[in-house]
Structure 1
Amino acid sequence: MKLLCKPCTLLDAETVRDFAERTFVHTFAHLNTKEDMDAYVHKAFSIDKVRTELSNADSSFYFVYADDVLAGYLKLNEELAQTDVFDEHSLEIERIYVSIDFQGKGIGTYLMNEAIRIANERGKEYVWLGVWEKNEHALQFYEKHGFVKIGTHKFVFGNEEQLDYIMKKDL
């Protein structure tokens, strides 16, 4: 399988929104109420919000294609675009989303390696991310890639307040 990582632009906003929403709903709908899911998706993946995020110079989005088919995407944040840590020496991996059709085929690892490569290229000392405490599959994935838990933060999901683990990997 030939993989290609491509930076996203503002012209990709609708594709980012559609892919992110579809992947997010597939991953988390069974663990949350329909009302909370609808409220979160409406807020987090509105086209205006996606366009604003794509326009932020401190955020970067990347698509990964597997044999010319969109298989996943990566969202990275620096400086004030970060959702929690706000350290100029760090890079936040906000999203690694992989299509259901490509899960278990190394796309997540490919995107993680791209994030690490970009962080090193930008002279960062570490990468960090937030992951829902109930997302066992993601927790195992991040631990396998050398991340350790360093704290927690609250994550508002619809009408519910959930707990995310903050995980860090030194470079």
Structure 2
Amino acid sequence: MTSPVVRRATLADAPALAALGAETFTETFGHLYPPQDLDAFLEGSHSIDVWTRKFADPKTAIWIALVDSTAIGFLAVGACKLPIEGREATAGEIQQLYVLARHHNLRLGSRLIDLGLEWLRAQGQTPIYIGVWSENLGAQRFYGRHGFSKVGEYGFPVGETVDREFILKR
């Protein structure tokens, strides 16, 4: 396997990001949901149209990680959209960070989050938030190592299922 390449994603990457987003979410969380809830969520969050709209938002930046031209991870950051009472007008958010499980040992998560944090700071988007499933202890430890701590919670809908999600802040 060649070393992963990480670069800013472009509109041409929307189909690859839609497929990778669906694959990584299903790989990580798919077992938690009835099929109809999972399908509804994936259509609403990881369709080509959804990714195309993200690229049209000037307050959003996306990176993609590839091995031999195959997408294996991605990061999307932008203005904070989490339901935070009194949220700062300049708040940024790590909106999505996923790497296929078979590539977790490559430190891509750290490479991607560092790029995203740097970009958000350069845009003046501070503080920075992220939503993390309450039972995803590995992700919580990862974000803790990057300076995030819990400041709240909310209900995250996946179809008709509503997950308990923690809000972390840096």
- TM-score norm. by structure 1 comes to 0.86
Contact 2:97 2:109 in 1 (8 A): yes
**What is the number of equivalent residue pairs in this alignment?**
167
Deviation at 1:124, TM superposition (A): 3.4
Give 1:43's aligned residue: 44
Structure 2 equivalent of residue 13 of structure 1:
14
Secondary structure at the aligned position of 1:103 is classed as: helix
- Tell me if the contact between 1:153 and 1:166 (Cα under 8 Å) persists in the aligned partners: yes
Structure 1 residue 122: Cα displacement: 2.2
Structure 1: any 5+ residue segments left out of the alignment?
Answer: none
User: Structure 1 residues 56-65 or 2-11, which shifts more?
Assistant: 2-11
Amino acid across the alignment from 2:161: E
Partner of 1:128: 129
Q: Is the 8 A contact 1:119 1:126 kept in 2?
A: no
- Within 2, Cα distance between the matches of 1:19 and 1:71? 7
Q: Partner of 2:157 in structure 1? A: 156
Cα distance in 1 for residues equivalent to 2:93 and 2:43: 23
Does 2:108 align with 1:107? Answer: yes
Amino acid at match of 1:7: R
Q: Tell me the alpha carbon deviations over residues 102-142 of structure 1, each in whole angstroms, 9 at most, x when there is no partner.
A: 11221111111112221232233321100111212211211
Identical-pair percentage: 25
Q: Which deviates more from structure 2 when the two are superposed, residues 156-165 or residues 70-79?
A: 70-79
Aligned partners of 1:99 and 1:63: how far apart in 2?
Answer: 12
Q: Do the aligned partners of residues 152 and 65 (structure 1) sit closer, same or farther apart at CA in structure 2, a change above 3 Å counting? A: same
Q: Distance in 2 between matches of 1:57 and 1:23?
A: 25
Q: TM-score, normalised by structure 2?
A: 0.87
Counterpart residue identity of residue 84, structure 1 = P
Structure 2 gap segments, 5+ residues each: none
**Could you tell me whether the CA contact under 8 Å between 2:17 and 2:71 is conserved in 1?**
no
Tell me which moved more, 150-159 or 45-54: 45-54
Q: Is the 8 A contact 1:126 1:168 kept in 2?
A: yes
Residue-by-residue CA offset, 1:133-157 (whole Å, 9 max, x unaligned):
1212211211222210011122111
- 1:25 corresponds in structure 2 to 26
Residue identity opposite 1:143 in structure 2:
G
Name the counterpart of 2:83: 84
